[in-house]
Structure 1
C-alpha cells in the first residue's frame, strides 16, 4: 500500500496533459543537449520517469527527446545515476519505433547492462541476439569480475529465454565453466565495508570474519545463497545471481534432457552401483563444461537442502529458506531428467525431505516440487508415490485453502502434471471436493484455471456428485468462512470479512444436529452420494451478502458451462438421465445469494435443452418428474425458463407423438395457462420474444409451427391450475406463456 503522499504524486503524474509533458521534454532536451549533467537534469529525468511509468498506457515522447536520452545513455561522461534514469525512461516507452539503440554504441562495459535492458524491452529478436553476443564477449574477456558481471548475468539469462540459438557452443561452454566456479568456489569470508573516508576512518579496520549460517553458526562449507553476513564480496554476489539463473540455463543447455553425447549409453546403466560410484568419484575438473556445471549444481542444491533444516534466527531468513528449498528441488528435478546418474544420489535425500515437510505446515509449498519430482522419477526408481499424492490432495487443500499463493501454485501444478499422473489420476479425481475448496475461497483468480482443469477431474462416476457440489459452491464458501472463524486464534489476523456478524451461523456450525450436513459439504474426498443442503442454505443466509460468497456465485455459471461441455463428451443414456433429474431437483434448492438463482437458472435451462437434444426421449422418460416439477413451480421466478425450453424442445423433436406424449402435452399446455383450443406449446414459443429474461426477437420458424400473435391491451391472464400426483395445486400459473 502506498502512503498518502505517494498516492498524491501518482495521481498528479497520471493527470498531466500532453502539453505539459511536451514542455518537460523540451526542458530535458535543452539540458541534455548542452550536456548539463547537474541536479536540474537529474530532477527533470526523475519527474519524466514518474510520468511515463504512472499510467498503464504508454506515453509518447518526441523523437528529439528519445535521441538525446539514447545519446546520454551511451555517453562516456554521463554520470551513472543519469544513465540509470535514461534507461528506465526508455524501457517504459518501449517498444517504440523512435528507438535506434544498438550495442555498437556502447563505449564501456559499465553501460552494457543498461543498454541491454532497453533492447530486451524493445523485443527485437535480432537485437536480442546482438545483446547476447556483446554480453558473452565481456564474460569471455579477462577483465576483473565486479559489478559489470552482476549486471550481465540477468541479461544473458533473458537472452537465452528469448533467443536460445543466439549463443554458439564455445560461448555456452565459457558460461558453463564460469557458473560452476561462481557456485562452488565463492569466498567464505565476509566483504570489507566501504569506508566513507572521513576523519575518524582508519586503515586499521578489523578484518572481516567468516560468513555464518541462518542459525548463527559459522559456515564451515562453501558459500550459498543462504549464507549470511554483514557485507558480501563480488564473487558472493555472483554466486547468488548464478543460482537465480541456474534452472533456466540448465534447461537452455539441454532442452531435451539428452544433450550429453553419451546420455543414451549411461541411461542403460542407471541404478547400477558402477554408475553411482563413477559419477560420485569422477574429478570435476576432468568433466566437460556442461557436466561439470551439473555436478556443481547438484552439490549446491544438496547443500541448500541441508541448510534449510536449520532454525533461522530471523523471519526473513526463514522465508528465504523456503523459497531456496523449492528452487533447489526444481533444479534437482531438471538434473535427474537430464542425467539419470543423479537420480539415485537424490532419492534418499528427497525421501527424508518429504518426511520432514509432511510434519512442518510452514513448508507446505515445498511439497509441490517434491511431488513433481516423484511424478517424473517415481516409476524409474521403483518408488510408490501413492502416499505422496494422497497427502498432497487430502491434507493440503483442507488445511491451507485460505492461502491464495498456494492455491494458485497447487492448481497450476495439477494442470501441468496431468500427463504424468497416469494410473494415479484417480487420486486427483476422487479429491475434487477438496480441490473445490481452493476455488470456493479464491474464485476470481482460479476460475480460468479450473475451467481448464475440470475436463480431467470429471468422469462418469463423479459427474453427478460434482454437479451437485458446483451448485452448492457459494454455500461451501460460507461454510469455509465459518470453519476459519471457529478455528483461528483470536490474536491472528482474521481471514474473513469482519463486517459480517455470524454469531447464529457459528452456533449452527457447532450444533451436533447439523454436523453431518456440514461434514458432507466440507468432505475431503468424493463420497458417491449427494445430500440436499436446504437446512444449511437457511442457516448460512446471513453470510450470503459476504463479498467472497458473491464472487464465488458469479463464477458458478462459467464453471457449469465447462462442466457440461466436458460431460457431454462421454455421458451415456443413464448418466444423461441422472443429470437431467438432478437439474430438475436442484432448480428450486439453490443458496439465495443476490442474483445467483437467475444466473444459474439461465444456464440450467440451456443445458437441459442440450440434454433433451442429445436424448430426445428424455422428456418422456422423465414425464413423472417433469409433471411434479410443473406442479411445484411457484411462478416464472422458479424454474419457468427451464420448463419452457423442455416443452418447446419436446414439440420440435416431436416427442409428444411418442407413447405417453399426448398426456404430457396436455399437462404442459395447462401448466402454461393456455386454453384448450390453442395449439401445442410449439406454436407460441417463449424464445421468440425479447422479454426481461433476455430472449431474442421473433425469428423464422422452420417447421411452420408458430401462429401469429397480435399485440393487444393487457387483460386478465387465463389461470389453469395443474393438479399434481399429490393432489396439490400450483400456486401460480406461468404468466405470459
Structure 2
C-alpha cells in the first residue's frame, strides 16, 4: 500500500512510546514560542506531529497548552500560511476537540477563517455546533455597509454548512443569501483585476488600466461575467461569481423547492413567458442571451429573492451554453467548457422542475445544444444531463425524445464502454430515473446487451450499482435473453477486450500482436476471421431481440479460449453468480407458466455450456441448483411439462461427473414433485420412466469391479438417488420389489475395497443406514407413501428432515420393529 520508506515512518508514528511522545510535545511547544529563525524546525516538527496524530484510527490527546498554542497559531494574521495549514490538520485529528474554542473567537481574516472553519466542520456533530460559524458568515452577507468586504471563502464554507444541516438557515436568511447570490451571478465586473507594473528602471510602479475580460476564443467579453471569461487576474466580485456558480446546484436543490411564493409573482412569470414566446418560436435559429435578458431584466427586479435568483441563474446558464460554442484556444478551457455545459444543463433542469414556465424558454436552447453536441462522442458526458432534461420535460413541451434516448442507450455503451467516468455517471443516471425509464423509454429494457458492456469492462467498480439496476431490466419478453446474457458476461468481457486490442494494434503489425502472448494472439486472429464474425456480432449486439442465444456457443468459447486467464474476464466471471441470484429472485415474482418452463430448459441446457474459466461452472451450477428447487416448488407441474428433457438429463451418467451438484438437485426435485398430488397428469407410466432412468444410473455407478477406479462422486449423491427411487416406488407399488433389490446391494457396495478407501467410515455408515431405512419403509407401502410423500397442504413439505418433528422418531421406530423380524441384508 505504501512505499517501504513511507511504511517505516507510519509504523514508527504508530509505535511511539508515551514518554517519548511527551518529550516531543514539549519540544514543539518551545519551538512555537521561539523566533522566526527556527521556522524550518517548526514546520518539520508540525509535520511530524501531524503524522503521529493521523497514523492511527484513534484520535490522540494532546496537552492543553499545545492545543492552545496551535489554536493561537491558527488565528494569527501574521504567521506563514504553511503553519496554519499544519495547525488545522493537527487539530482536526486530535483531542480535546477545538470546536467550541474556535467557534467563540472566529477570525475576520479570510484565510484564517477558512482554516478555522475546516476544523469546526470536521468536528461538528449537530446543528448547534455549526450555528456560531454560520451566524459569523451571515453577518458579512447581511451587512449593507459598502466598506465591509465579504471574505472570499465565505460561500464555500457556507455551502459545506448547509450541506451538513439544511435547516440551519431561517427563511429570512435564505432570502438574504439568495439576494446576494443573484447579484454576484449577474453583476460581477467584466474587467480584469488591477495588476501592478514596474514602469521601467527609472520610474515608480504604476497601476495599469484594467483590461476587459475575454472569451475562451480570445474575443472581448461582450456581456456579463461568467466562469468562462478569461483574464490574467480576477476581482473579488468575480471570485464570488465563480464560487456562486459552483454552489448554485446544491443551493437550488436545498432551498428552492417551494415554487412561486404568491399570486403576484406568478403573474409576473406569466408576463415574462408571453414576452418571450415570440422569441422562442425562432430561438433555434437566432436566439441569444441578450434577447432573453432584455425581456426579463425589468420584471426580475420585482420578484422575491428566491425567484430572482432562479431568473439570474437561468440567464447565467443560458450565457454559458452560448459561450461553450466558441472555439477554445487552450485545451484546459475546452475541458472547462464541457464541465460548464454539464453543470448549466443540470441547473436549468432544476429550475424547470420548480417552475414549469421556464421549460418553454429552455427547450429551444437545449434542443439546439443537443443538435450541436450529438455527433461528437467527446461530449458524451455533457449529453447525459441533456437526456435528463428531455426525460423530465419533453412531455411538458410536447417534444419527441426518442432520438435522444436511442443515441444514449445504443452509441454510448457500444463505443465508450472503456470510459470509466462515463460508465459510472451513465449507470447512476439509470438508477436515478429507473421508474421513469421503465415506463416511458421503450428502448431501456431492450438495451441490456449494451448496458452490460459497462459492467463487463468495469466490473469491480459497478457491481453494487448493477445489483440494484438489474431488476429494472427484466421484462417477460426478454427474460430468457437476459439470462443468457448474464451467463455469457465473461464472453462479453473477452470480446470487448479483443475489440479494444484489435482497434489499438494494426493487423499488419504482427510483432505487436505476438507481444500479447500466443493464446491472446490466437483469439485476436479468431476475432478478425470472417467465419467467427457472426458470433462476435451477436455477443457484441447493441440491443435485445435478435434471439435468446446462438447455436454455436461452444465454438465461441473455443475462439475465446485464449482470454480465460485475462484478469478482466476472471473478475467478470466472479460477479455472475451474484447477478444470477438477483435475476432469479426477481423473475420468479413475475414469471408465468410459459416463462417458468423456458427457464427450466435454460438451466438444463446451460449447465453444461459455460465458458471454461476456473471455478466458474461450479459456482453457476450451485446457483442453478438453488433456483431449480425454487422453480419446481413454485410450479410443480414443470416436471411433467418438461419430462423428456429431465428424463434425458437424469438418465445420463456423464451429467454426474461434470455437474454433480446440479444433477443431485434435479434428481431430488423429481423425487419430491413427481406425484399425482402435485399434477394429475402424473401417470404410472411417467413414474416408471423416471424410475428406470434413475435405477439405471444408480446401478451403473455402484457396480464394483476388480479394475474399477474409486468413485468420483459424493455419498450425498447416492443417498439422494436411493431416496428418489424409494419415493417413486412408493407411488407405484409395482416398482417396490425392484427398488428393494437395488437398495439391498448398497451394503456390499459400501463395504467394497475401492469404495471403502475413498469414503470415510461415517459416509459408509450413512449409505448403509439410508438403504436400510428405505427398505424397511417400502415393506409397508402405505406408511412409505405417507413418510416419503407428505401432503402438499402441510406447512412444510419436508417433514422427514425436520428434527423438531416427531416423524423421524416414527421412522426409526418402524425401522427397529421391522429389523427384528427381517433378514433382508446379505450376509
TM-score normalised by L of structure 2: 0.76
- Does 2:465 correspond to 1:449? yes
Alpha-carbon offset, residue 138 of structure 1: 2.6
Matched, 1:462 2:482: no
Q: How does 1:557-636 map to 2 (within 5 A)?
A: 557-631=577-651, 634=654, 636=656
Structure whose alpha-carbon radius of gyration is higher: 2
Q: Where does residue 519 of structure 1 map in the other structure?
A: 537
Per-residue CA deviations over 1:461-503 (Å, capped at 9, x if unaligned) read: 1110000010000001111111112224769xxxx99755532
Matched residue of 2:421: which SS?
helix
| Aligned mates of 1:489, 1:29 — CA distance in 2 | 63
Give the number of the structure whose residues are more often helix, by fraction. Answer: 2
Cα gap change, 1:361 to 1:202, in 2 (>3 Å): farther
Q: CA deviation at 1:211?
A: 2.1
Contact 2:652 2:697 in 1 (8 A): no
SS at match of 1:17: helix
> Where does residue 244 of structure 1 map in the other structure?
246
Give the number of the structure with larger relative contact order, counting CA–CA contacts within 8 Å between residues 6 or more apart.
1
User: By how many angstroms is 1:552 displaced?
Assistant: 0.5
CA separation of 1:201/1:99 partners in 2, compared to 1, >3 Å: closer, same or farther?
Answer: farther
Structure 1: distance between partners of 2:747 and 2:157: 72
Q: Could you say which residue in structure 1 is the equivalent of 2:662?
A: 642
Q: Which among 33, 45, 53 is matched to residue 35 of structure 1? A: 33
Greater alpha carbon shift after TM alignment, 150-159 vs 629-638: 629-638
Going from structure 1 to structure 2, the CA distance change for 1:206 and 1:107 (only over 3 Å counts) comes to: closer
Over residues 257-283 of structure 1, what are the superposed CA-to-partner deviations in whole Å (9 max), with x where a residue is unaligned? Answer: 525334995699599635858973544
Aligned pair partner of 1:666 in 666, 674, 692: 692
User: 1:76 deviation in Å?
Assistant: 6.2
Match of 1:433 among 440, 446, 449: 449
Instruction: State which of 665, 684, 693 in structure 1 corresponds to 2:719.
Output: 684
The one of 8, 14, 20 equivalent to 2:5 is 8
> Please, which runs of 5 or more residues in structure 2 have no aligned partner?
279-293, 508-512, 704-714, 724-742, 757-769, 772-827
1:405 Cα shift?
0.6
Does 2:527 correspond to 1:509? Answer: yes
Q: Judge which range, 628-637 or 388-397, deviates more.
A: 628-637
Q: Is the 8 A contact 2:197 2:208 kept in 1?
A: no
Give yes or no for contact 1:656–1:665 (8 Å, CA) kept in 2.
no
Q: How far apart, in 2, do the equivalents of 1:498 and 1:318 lie?
A: 37
CA separation of 1:713 and 1:149: change in aligned 2, threshold 3 A? farther
Structure 1, unaligned stretches of length 5 or more? 689-705, 719-735
The equivalent of 1:17 in structure 2 is: 14
2:753 corresponding residue in structure 1: 715
What residue number does 1:722 align with? none
1:349 aligns with 2:384: no
Matched, 1:555 2:575: yes
Q: What's 1:339 paired with?
A: 355
Deviation at 1:321, TM superposition (A): 1.0
* Alpha-carbon shift at residue 669 of structure 1 (Å): 3.8
Which residue of structure 1 aligns with residue 232 of structure 2? 230
**Alpha-carbon contact 1:270-1:341 (below 8 Å) kept:** no
In structure 2, the partner of 1:692 is none
The answer as to 2:550 corresponding to 1:531 is yes
Aligned equivalents of 2:88, 2:503: Cα separation in 1: 51
Q: 1:386 to 1:205 in 2, by over 3 A?
A: same
Out of 337, 340, 349, the residue aligned to residue 324 of structure 1 is 340
Residues 651 and 681 in structure 1, CA contact (< 8 A), matched pair in contact too: no
Give the Cα–Cα distance (whole angstroms) in 2 for the partners of residues 525 and 379 of structure 1.
25
The answer for the alignment partner of 1:85 in structure 2 is: 86
Post-superposition Cα deviations, 1:561-583, rounded to whole Å, max 9, x if no partner, equal 11111101111111111011101
Instruction: Quote the Cα distance in structure 2 between the aligned partners of 1:506 and 1:419.
Output: 40
8 Å contact kept, 2:198–2:205: no
Aligned partners of 2:196 and 2:205 also within 8 Å: no
Task: State the match for 1:261 in structure 2.
Answer: 262
With over 3 angstroms needed to count, the CA separation of the structure-2 counterparts of 1:243 and 1:24, relative to structure 1, is: farther
Distance 1:8 1:656, change over 3 A: farther
1:410 Cα deviation after fit: 0.4
Contact 2:53–2:90 (8 Å) recurs in 1: yes
**Aligned-pair distance for 1:291?**
1.7
Secondary structure at the counterpart of residue 217 of structure 1? coil
Alignment check: 8 A CA contact 1:129 1:159 kept: no
**For the structure 1 residues 425 and 314, does the alpha-carbon distance in structure 2 shift closer, same or farther, using more than 3 Å as the test?**
same
- The 8 Å contact of residues 619 and 646 in structure 1, kept in 2 or not, is answered as no
- Identify which range, 602-611 or 20-29, moves more after superposition: 20-29
Query: Is the CA contact 2:98–2:120 (under 8 Å) kept in the aligned structure 1?
Result: no
Number of equivalenced pairs: 690
Q: CA RMSD in A?
A: 3.7
1:606 deviates by 1.0
Query: Alpha-carbon deviation of 1:32?
Result: 3.8
Match of 1:174 in 2: 176
Distance in 2 of aligned mates of 1:609 and 1:201: 94
Distance in 1 (CA, whole Å) between partners of 2:171 and 2:69 is: 38
Deviates further, 20-29 or 65-74:
20-29
Asked whether the 8 Å contact 2:455–2:462 carries over to 1, the reply is: yes
The CA deviation at 1:165 is 1.5
Contact 1:270–1:340, Cα closer than 8 Å, also in 2: no
**Aligned equivalents of 1:408, 1:58: Cα separation in 2:** 33
Match of 1:73 in 2: 74
TM-score of the two chains, using structure 1 as the length reference: 0.85
Question: Residue 216 of structure 2 contacts residue 228 of structure 2 at CA under 8 Å; is this kept in 1?
Answer: yes
Deviation at 1:303, TM superposition (A): 1.1
- Structure 1 stretch displaced more, 211-220 or 320-329: 211-220
Listed as ranges, the matches of 1:22-171 within 5 Å are 23=20, 26-28=23-25, 30-32=27-29, 35-36=33-34, 38=36, 39=39, 40-53=41-54, 55=55, 57-62=57-62, 64=64, 65-74=66-75, 79-93=80-94, 100-110=100-110, 111-125=112-126, 126-141=128-143, 149-171=151-173
Q: 1:601 to 1:497 in 2, by over 3 A?
A: farther
